Amino acid sequence: MEQVTTRFVTFEEELRLESGRLLAPVTLAYETYGRLNAVASNAILVAHAWTGDAHAAGRYSPQDRKGGWWDDMIGPGKVLDTERFFVICSNVIGSCKGSTGPTSLNPQTGRPYRLSFPIVMVRDMVRAQQRLIDHLGIGRLLAVIGGSMGAMQALEWGIHFPERVGAIIPIAGTGRTSPMAIALNALARQAIYNDPLWKKGNYKPEHPPASGFALARAVGHISFLSEQSMQMKFGRRFSARDGLFDFFGQFEIERYLEYNGNSFVERFDPNAFLYLAKALDLYDVAWNFSSPDEALERLNCPSLWFAFSSDWLYRPEETEAVVAILARQNKPVDYHCIASDYGHDSFLVEPEKFTPYVVRFLDEQARQAGC
């Protein structure tokens, strides 16, 4: 993959959010890979997960040791083949990775929004993305694909912009966030709230509520794993550097969660984390519809769904409930439950288990679109 650059576009027109609040201006950070064909029929939108960003593939410089978060999937000859497709990934609103969020300056005050930033829902993220797609001169996307929160975005695209989407591929998603997932996010929130440095969101960027935020990330990270993956990677091994009867001695799984949490503090903003967690908690495909059936009736394009056997955050049964409604409505839907021991992170850890289905599906969509 050649070197890539993150670009930014700002829309001055107000964006009306589901809450009724108006947000303006709205900046989106985005990256593109490959080339848009002459009739703009080969565009695929990649939607990122909770704490992801627009840097889905490629490297910023030859010195970069690591590519984008889905670098194995995007590029010449890869699953999202940039010799055939024009791939777009944008950072969602509410984030801290270049798009408008709680760390952005409020034009009315000249200071960061912090907790004055409005609550955003996944549907709001998609409406902002729709402006980006217009800006890029694309009338209809060949497909929208994403995992976790990205799967929610893909589904919202299919329901709310049916004329703009040729197909959707939701991976490890859900039709509505479960009470258990909300409860885990509630624990993460309390970890941040209880850190005295949080100061009700008014912390200094150079002095974030690091301890509480690291703990919040650890809570979330546990939900991305599975019992099987933790057993395989860590088992009951005790840290070699600690004494077994040292009161503060740690198992390897403890040390891993501590490291993961502390490193996360250095690359993400606590308020943005809280806003995106709220968007996840509020997600319900039936929002402002009388039922999930009514919402899904609007989905007319083919959809390819994946769940993972060991995912206990968004369980396979949750995906299957949505697929069952679509099948009952005689919608063009395909579903695969992939056997994997890596929990919710399976879509990132073992993509080879589901990508052959994606390649065949996109081949068919491209053939029908003539690209």
Kindly state the tokens that stand for 338: 């992939």
Residues in the chain: 371
**Beta strand pairing call for 303-308 and 168-171:** parallel
Catalytic residue status for 207: no
Q: Is residue 91 packed enough to be buried (19+ CB in 10 Å), middle (13-18) or exposed (0-12)? A: buried
H or E element, residue 103:
none
Write out 135-201 in H/E/C secondary structure.
HCCCCCECEEEEECHHHHHHHHHHHHCHHHECCEEEECCCCECCHHHHHHHHHHHHHHHCCCCCHHH
Q: Which of 196, 176, 213, 260 is nearest to 96 (CA)?
A: 213
Return the DSSP state at 343: G
48 a catalytic residue: no
Distance CA 255, CA 251 (A): 6
Q: Is 217 flagged in the annotation as binding?
A: yes
Among residues 95, 148, 303, 340, the one annotated as catalytic is 148
Q: Comparing C-alpha atoms, which of 172, 111, 201, 135 is closest to residue 322?
A: 172
Q: Which two tokens stand for residue 197?
A: 């440095």
> Residue with structure tokens 């992939």?
338
Asked if residue 345 belongs to a known ligand binding site, the reply is yes
Contact 80, 74 (CB under 8 A): yes
Catalytic residue (choose from 99, 226, 344, 346) = 344
Q: How far is CA 12 from CA 27, 75, 107, 129, 138, in A?
A: 9, 33, 11, 14, 20
148 catalytically annotated: yes
Q: Which residue in the list 53, 81, 311, 341 is annotated as catalytic? A: 311
- Name the residues annotated as catalytic: 148, 311, 344
Q: Binding site for substrate, residues? A: 217, 345
Q: Binding site, residues? A: 217, 345
